[in-house]
Amino acid sequence: MNVRRIWIGAVVVVLVALGAVVLAGSVVPGGTPQAAAADPVVLTIVGNGATKTFTMAELQALPAYSGYSGIINSAGTVTPPVAVKGVKLTALLEEVGGVPEFQSTDITASDDYGMTLTYDEVVNGNIPMYNATTKQEEVAKAPVSVVLLYEEHGAAIAPGPTGDGPLRLAVCQPTDENQVAAGHLFVKWVDRVSLRNAVVPWTVKMYGLKDKKGKRQTYTLDRLSYDSCATPGCHGSAWTDTATEKTWSGVPLFLCIGKIDGGKGHGGYGAYNEALALKGYRIKLTSATGATAIIGSRTIRNQEQIILANKLQGSELTADYYPLRLVGPKIGGKSFVGQIVKIQMLPK
């Protein structure tokens, strides 16, 4: 009887020891305990000299924002507002000390696509809104907030590559006002948010050729739509000046001209009217200082490296060139006009 008790006691001791190993972590070959896998980091915030990472559970523990968000893309297709949930960008940035007025915010995805928002856009929600029915810009009917979403329609956002999540940037309102925001603001697969030196909003006026009735196709190029298009995953391109060994990056000029050359439109920039380019016309670029450059349509036709650059060596252009500078091979340094504010198509 005493032997039986001793045997049972030994079994209990072994079971308790195994339980302790399981609680501490799994046993890998060779008998080494391995800690249970931690929740993965889904977001990194950098700013004010601080870096902070978040798991999904940690994000969901922050004050939640619930509201509605809808999209109008560049082709005019509307996705009406739907119920969403996430964390306001301002609340996230408070985790690293907030957003100083002299700084802007970069929101970047796992594929390096990104968007830069100004202090006014992030903190004050000063972002254009459009009527979901008429598609016309109108005054926001409810406060606008920039939110990092983790739920849509009451469910988690599916991760990439088949889904837009687990985190997606969105422009939201607390109530459904039948209003939507521009699609390029809705960055999917977001995994990084960081502060940077302030960028200044800008616009470039673009004018096409006159038709038989004397009317022109026009377009206003703005910073948000340009930044969206200039990413490597969209229409971004780069050119390295062999004389200086410096790299300029932005969007090919011919793709920008596609917005005013009567070509069939598509998502992003307008489809390029190659037949018209072959027929021939001139393009006049005008600087804020009044300097101009004129270049032929055949010269830039399908030339990926003749670009309207918005960055030099990966950084925003300095005041001498900001917001855009024409650069590229085969056009001559005299055509390298910066501070561009107007682009016109002229007859040959």
- pLDDT digits over 140-182, tens only? 999 999 999 999 999 999 998 899 999 999 999 999 999 999 9
CB 165 within 8 A of CB 159: yes
- pLDDT digits over 217-268, tens only? 999 999 888 988 887 767 889 999 998 888 999 999 999 999 999 876 544 4
Q: Is pLDDT of 92 > 90?
A: yes
- pLDDT digits over 290-339, tens only? 999 999 999 999 999 999 999 888 778 878 899 999 999 989 989 999 99
Claim to verify: residue 179 and residue 303 sit in the same structural domain: no
Number of domains in the chain: 2
Please indicate, yes or no, if residue 217 is contained in any of the structural domains: yes
Instruction: Say what the pLDDT of residue 159 is.
Output: 93
Please indicate, yes or no, if residue 10 is contained in any of the structural domains: no
Claim to verify: residue 49 and residue 187 sit in the same structural domain: yes
Claim to verify: residue 133 and residue 260 sit in the same structural domain: no
Lowest mean pLDDT among 22-31, 127-136, 299-308, 312-321: 22-31
Q: What's the rounded Cα separation, in Å, for the pair 170 and 187?
A: 7
Asked which of 172, 197, 222 is the last residue of a domain, the reply is 197
Is the model more confident about 21 or about 43? Answer: 43
Q: Is pLDDT of 30 > 80?
A: no
Q: Give CA separation, 238 vs 57, 80, 104, 331, in Å.
A: 39, 36, 24, 15
Q: Is pLDDT of 122 > 90?
A: yes
Q: What's the rounded Cα separation, in Å, for the pair 282 and 266?
A: 24
Instruction: Say what the pLDDT of residue 130 is.
Output: 96
* Domain of residue 118, CATH code: 3.90.420.10
CB 295 within 8 A of CB 272: no
Please indicate, yes or no, if residue 161 is contained in any of the structural domains: yes
